[in-house]
Amino acid sequence: MIAAQLLAYYFTELKDDQLKKIDKYLYSMRFSDETLKDIMNRFRREMENGLGHDTNPTATVKMLPTFVRSIPDGSEKGDFIALDLGGSNFRILRVKVTQDKKQPVQMESQVYDTPDDIIHGSGTQLFDHVADCLGDFMEKQKIKDKKLPVGFTFSFPCAQTKLDEAVLVTWTKKFKASGVEGMDVVKLLNKAIKKQGDYEADIMAVVNDTVGTMMTCGFDDQRCEVGIIIGTGTNACYMEELRHIDLVEGDEGRMCINTEWGAFGDDGSLEDLRTEFDREIDRGSINPGKQLFEKMASGMYMGELVRLILVKMAKEGLLFEGRITPELLTKGKIETKHVSAIEKTKEGLKKCMEILTRLGVEPSDEDCLAVQHVCTIVSFRSANLIASTLGGILSRLKENKGVARLRTTVGIDGSLYKMHPQYARRLHKMVRRLVPDSDVRFLLSESGSAKGAAMVTAVAYRLTEQARQIQQTLAEFRLSKAQLLEVKKRMRVEIERGLKKDSHKEATVKMLPTFVRSTPDGTENGDFLALDLGGTNFRVLLVKIRSGKRRSVEMHNKIYAIPIEVMQGTGEELFDHIVHCISDFLDYMGMKSARLPLGFTFSFPCHQTSLDAGILVTWTKGFKATDCEGEDVVELLREAIKRKEMEDPEFELDVVAIVNDTVGTMMTCAYEEPTCEVGLIAGTGSNACYMEEMRNIEIVEGNEGRMCVNMEWGAFGDNGCLDDIRTQYDQAVDENSLNEGKQRYEKMCSGMYLGEIVRQILIDLTKRGFLFRGQISETLKTRGIFETKFLSQIESDRLALLQVRAILQQLGLDSTCDDSIIVKEVCGTVSRRAAQICGAGMAAVVDKIRENRKLDHLDVTVGVDGTLYKLHPHFSRIFQLTVKELAPKCDVNFLLSEDGSGKGAALITAVGCRQREADAQQN
């Protein structure tokens, strides 16, 4: 018993001693964590070089764009063919993708031989052979009459500019067919298929095996965004943000990048880590100086590395008592499969004895132990190197996403990873050490790269079909020039109906006279009060207008709240409250006894009978004060002023004008720019006014001069004249609104409703499975959630998709990159139509003015106010462009208004006072 223990102790001592010697001997192949982190950082730098426009030509890690923009989302379905050409065998598969949970993918495949004379013959022969095999396969499957989408796995370095095009950079792996390098392999294959003449195939995608692996795994796990091959060769791909890929136009979304990482180090950046054995392998290879990282890490070279180490150790008397045999000196005698066998835990040493015996070196037990340890060091180095480069990709993904912890899946294929007994465990462990703040799932690719090609095709097919259907939906919003000219023409018809006495009553565009007969001429002078009532707050302003050389407008204002009980109480209470606030303001300004002219901006529908008389048609915006509708609001204000005078004789006001905010906008701009004769509000609501010839306004007496007409154009279309361009989404918005059937034009082009139109479209696209994985969240069901300010933010050119996703997440919508692209397009389409139909309305107005004046060419300025016009990144540009296109004989200048409802009211009052004095002098 003691003897056995002594023997075991002796053997362990011997083993430890032997292993330490080898560790020391192969010290340069063993890397510390610090070194691995350094390799990881070097690789990150190389990735950046490959992605950069200026650095890519000289970069060793080429970072080739694959034009695969999306991983499977589980909704793919269809019948596909996959071709897999990358070695001595050529595989064709038929892949059926269904929504069947038990067996979502069914595959039938056939392997065809690729003889050497074809591999080394001409390109024409090679592709004729592929097309011939494909015809044979389709014949056997009885699908020659169908035109199925085809995915092509072509595992050679290619430059792509789109998904269905791949220009071969250089042949590798024994292939040498002439006339193919520098050519598009899809074109060559299509030509060969055409020559066959008895079937058709639609090649939708060319992918390399790494991308195929990622896509295969991506079908089973939608978090998969990295693919790795660790086999004969090694490579990786991953999903990169498009904004970082300089070689491809656009910055929306992501694209899969084929890193071609085997060439890492070809510029000398790994020289300090390469050993004499690596250099010897490189010298003896068919491509010296190329693919240096691959030569250190992939299966093709691992056995050979071990052989070279054993030869050197034997020469130095450290192994086999210095015996060296011709077999041991023969290249390729130790293969990677032998390394895997030797490293098996139980039978490894026995296998080692067999393999070494075949090489004739008569190994001892200690020799076997030593060789096993050499194999371990070589394969461990490979796993560590791959862990470093993979760590580089994962840390980049984490940074791109801006998350504290990365959750992702890596799809893996390749014989070394699959067959080596310890490799996978070592790789996983080291990745977790190098990228600690990540949860990485490693998924083994089943049925490899060919199924992946079918998946890429399935995704491309889904995206093409989805894009077609989304474009079909949005096509209704994309109005042609002919349609916009038709909108302009109809607006003109409605304008005429509103102006004519006999049709005015039925007209939808009311063309209300404002009794503002001229724009400011610069002689306005004096102090004026302005009231601005249009919401839950109202303002009182003092406006000091000075004429002469130093023309100026100085304003002071104070905002007062209107309590809900006053808004919904009696008319008397409401107007008493307003007068009380005016009195407070005059006290505040120290102007108690001044008798000032007052302009009243009253932003509710009114029928005016003179400049200072306006009958309230109906309350809106939550006001419900009794005894006001059908009454003259100026009279109601004057009565309240009288009541105030009773208790305070010093208090006296002169109400000169009642004003609509659109007219105020025109007047404010006209004060700065005399050619301004049109006003536009493009904000929460939409309206316009302009200077019309008195002779055309049949509902007002007199034919001389001009008068500003408040169009109230929001109601354009209420008689059904726009029904042919209204979509189902416009109808849904109308049906859910407080005033169904009213203000239809406004509901298509004003800020209050654009977000709501977008929400209706998003709900429909989600129901059809194109968005948010088909899940309609509670948020999306909520009316008014999609405010117009979000549209402005989402459409901002400066916003990357990540920020669009952040906005959607604020709204409780968990979106992918693809979702964000679609949402952005929907927003852009809806706001573009709004700007265009608003522009068509304005074109009708300026052309009317031109024709009124019998001019060939009109120069005119439009004063504009409103949040949509001011804050939306594209609205004003598209609006202006549309006016220019639809009214080519008018040169229209647009001027932003500052405070139309305050300053504008004071200016109207000033013009009114001037007019009053002129009238008095005439009389």
Instruction: Write out pLDDT tens, residues 42-73.
Output: 999 999 999 998 999 899 999 999 888 877 77
For the chain, what percent of residues have pLDDT higher than 90?
A: 50
pLDDT tops 90 at residue 8 = no
Give the other-Cβ count within 10 Å of 891's Cβ. Answer: 14
Read off the pTM: 0.70
pLDDT tops 50 at residue 9 = no
The confidence score (pLDDT) of residue 646 equals 87
Degrees to nearest 5, angle at CA 250 with 247 and 253 = 105
pLDDT tops 90 at residue 561 = no
Check residues 253 and 586 and name the one with the higher pLDDT. Answer: 586
Q: What's the pLDDT band for 6 if we cut at 50, 70, 90?
A: very low
The mean per-residue pLDDT over the stretch 249-277 comes to 89
The confidence score (pLDDT) of residue 684 equals 83
pLDDT in tens, 77-136: 788 888 888 766 788 888 887 777 676 778 888 888 888 888 888 989 999 999 999 999
Q: What's the pLDDT band for 621 if we cut at 50, 70, 90?
A: low
The mean per-residue pLDDT over the stretch 449-472 comes to 79
The confidence score (pLDDT) of residue 11 equals 45
The confidence score (pLDDT) of residue 7 equals 42
| CA-based nearest residue to 207, from 155, 161, 247, 253 | 155
pLDDT tops 90 at residue 564 = no
* Mean of the per-residue pLDDT values of the chain: 88
pLDDT in tens, 345-378: 888 899 999 999 998 888 988 899 899 999 999 9
Q: Residue 603 catalytic?
A: yes
The confidence score (pLDDT) of residue 483 equals 97
Q: Are strands 234-241 and 254-258 parallel, antiparallel or unpaired?
A: antiparallel
Check residues 453 and 400 and name the one with the higher pLDDT. Answer: 400
Cα diameter, the chain? 140
- Sequence length of the chain is 923
pLDDT tops 70 at residue 701 = yes
Q: Which of the following is catalytic: 84, 266, 278, 661?
A: 661
Structure tokens, 840: 């068509």
The confidence score (pLDDT) of residue 212 equals 86
pLDDT in tens, 813-842: 777 777 888 888 999 999 999 999 999 999
- From 282-286, 406-410, 603-607, 795-799, the region with the lowest mean pLDDT: 795-799
Q: Which of the following is catalytic: 603, 750, 815, 901?
A: 603
Q: Residue 832 catalytic?
A: no
Residue 445 DSSP symbol: P
pLDDT tops 70 at residue 772 = yes
For the chain, what percent of residues have pLDDT higher than 70?
A: 95
Cα separation, 186 vs 261, in Å, equals 25
- From 118-132, 162-176, 261-275, the region with the lowest mean pLDDT: 162-176
Alpha helices, DSSP H, located in 26-156: 33-51, 116-119, 123-141
- From 69-73, 324-328, 754-758, the region with the lowest mean pLDDT: 69-73
Highest mean pLDDT among 118-127, 164-173, 304-313, 895-904: 304-313
Structure tokens, 699: 């509902």
Tokens 């309240």 locate to 640
pLDDT tops 80 at residue 142 = yes
Q: Are strands 202-207 and 149-154 parallel, antiparallel or unpaired?
A: parallel
The mean per-residue pLDDT over the stretch 544-568 comes to 86
CA dist 164 → 137, 206, 207, 257, 602 (Å): 22, 6, 9, 16, 62
Q: Residue 661 catalytic?
A: yes
Cα separation, 64 vs 260, in Å, equals 8
The confidence score (pLDDT) of residue 186 equals 92
pLDDT in tens, 875-887: 999 999 999 999 9
Q: What's the pLDDT band for 779 if we cut at 50, 70, 90?
A: confident
pLDDT tops 80 at residue 399 = yes
User: CA end-to-end span of the chain, whole Å?
Assistant: 140
Q: What's the pLDDT band for 149 if we cut at 50, 70, 90?
A: confident
Residue 394 half-sphere exposure toward CB, CA atoms < 13 A = 33
The mean per-residue pLDDT over the stretch 475-488 comes to 96
Q: Which of the following is catalytic: 91, 539, 706, 832?
A: 539
Cα separation, 16 vs 25, in Å, equals 14
| CA-based nearest residue to 355, from 391, 330, 316, 328 | 328
| CA-based nearest residue to 743, from 766, 713, 763 | 713
